Amino acid sequence: MKFFLPDSQDFVDPTFDFESERRSATRQRQLDDLYAHELFSTPAFDGLLVSKSIVDGFGTLGSRYTAAQRHRLLRRGAPAFFRLDRAPRPLELMGDCGAFTYVAEEVPPYSVDEVLDFYESCRFDMGVSLDHVILDFKPAVDTPGSAVGLPEAVRDRQRLTLQLAEEFLHKHKAGRHSFEPLGVAQGWSPKSYAAAVKALQKMGYGYIALGGMVPLKTPEIRMCLEEIQTVRKPSTRLHLLGVTRTEHLEEFSRLGVVSFDSTSPLRQAFKDDHDNYYSDEFKYTAIRIPQVEGNPGLQRKISSGQVSQEQARRLERACLEAMKLFDEGRRTPAQAVEVLMEYERFYDPDTKKNHAPAYEKTLRDAPWRRCPCEVCQRLKYHVILFRGAERNRRRGFHNIWTLYRQLERLGLDREETCRKN
């Protein structure tokens, strides 16, 4: 099972000093900063997924790239742009269109020719056909005589996606493009997904990406994969776009899935209320110590005179000191949590959340002390602090590394089972 990390221009500053919280004055973003694959001496993923919409920007989201970065990517190609020669082992590059960014549009904003040119210019190894995502999921439609209706616009999206896939494959062959093409299957139910896969196989696709499944629950994804299995050729490989369900990947593999992509491990590091730090046994809550100058809500309260800036800074410093003393063995988890909660009650007095129990477990277990990855070895307790992009993103990189170790173990366990049988 291969894991592709979607690119959002996530990198970290190697010059950042975690004690003084300052960076080098000569640092140049992207040129000096490091991608996840440059931080680790062992692989953290099998490849990168690069979306045209992320590079070009679309609608209100805008591009994650500067104009200079876009030009450099297209001129030099993705392998050089992402410095893949620095990865611990060769990485593959997959391109797609980023259909979720234009889901509100009646038709995709790109042409097949534009997409093919983008993939070829970037020198990707694989390219996903142009598609239009379907967000309606109504499995009851599959039941004969069902009264559940389906808007014709939804069926139109599937028809359009298949038409674009056919055009994409035809022009790919005619243009003798070097990358491997993936057709996209969009659907609103298990049978509609199976019908799309069947149509794509008939066109000649041997590698098919399943789109629109991000909002689905695991049982719903399983239902679709099981139905697809009734029409899937033994040689047809499946890719899950934007989906990760670590505990079910072995089952998905038996149903034809050979690859997936997801930003969940990275995003959970700083967007989840509780599951911020991955370990093999548990997902821990990171210790929140917001920066006084970097917390918009706290800044508004200070500006309006609701709270004292001096007191905020005192409590912030006390939390940082408590964590340092805890790391040195001079504070117990309970003593550190007491200081942390005083600051939390100050900056978020109306919250109904109580992080104290989660913080105590995090500090009692101190999982970063047992982790051999370069992030945890270098940052030590700083990796567990929910504070600023440099810590939060590195924690996300640790999560990616941990997920990949779990995938490797699944593969080894599967091989061992096959040998025994």
The residues that are catalytic are 96, 261
Tell me which residue of 334, 339, 320, 307 sits closest to 384, measured CA to CA: 320
**DSSP E strand stretches across 286-330:** 287-288
Interatomic CA distance for residues 313 and 315, integer angstroms? 5
HSE (CB half, 13 Å, CA atoms) of 280?
10
Tell me which residue of 241, 285, 269 sits closest to 402, measured CA to CA: 269
Asked if 286 and 386 count as a contact pair (C-beta separation under 8 A), the reply is: yes
Neighbours of 317 (CB within 10 A): 13
Structure tokens at 35: 């991608």
Interatomic CA distance for residues 388 and 24, integer angstroms? 16
Cα–Cα–Cα angle for 101, 106, 111, rounded to 5 degrees: 70
Structure tokens at 62: 């805008």
Interatomic CA distance for residues 380 and 131, integer angstroms? 44
Task: Please state the φ and ψ torsions of residue 74, each to the nearest 5 degrees.
Answer: -75, -30
Asked if 164 and 199 count as a contact pair (C-beta separation under 8 A), the reply is: no
Tell me which residue of 151, 132, 153, 149 sits closest to 141, measured CA to CA: 149
Residues 6+ apart with CB under 8 A from 409: none
Token pair 């808007």 in the structure block, residue: 151
Neighbours of 145 (CB within 10 A): 4
Asked if 196 and 232 count as a contact pair (C-beta separation under 8 A), the reply is: no
Structure tokens at 298: 């706290």
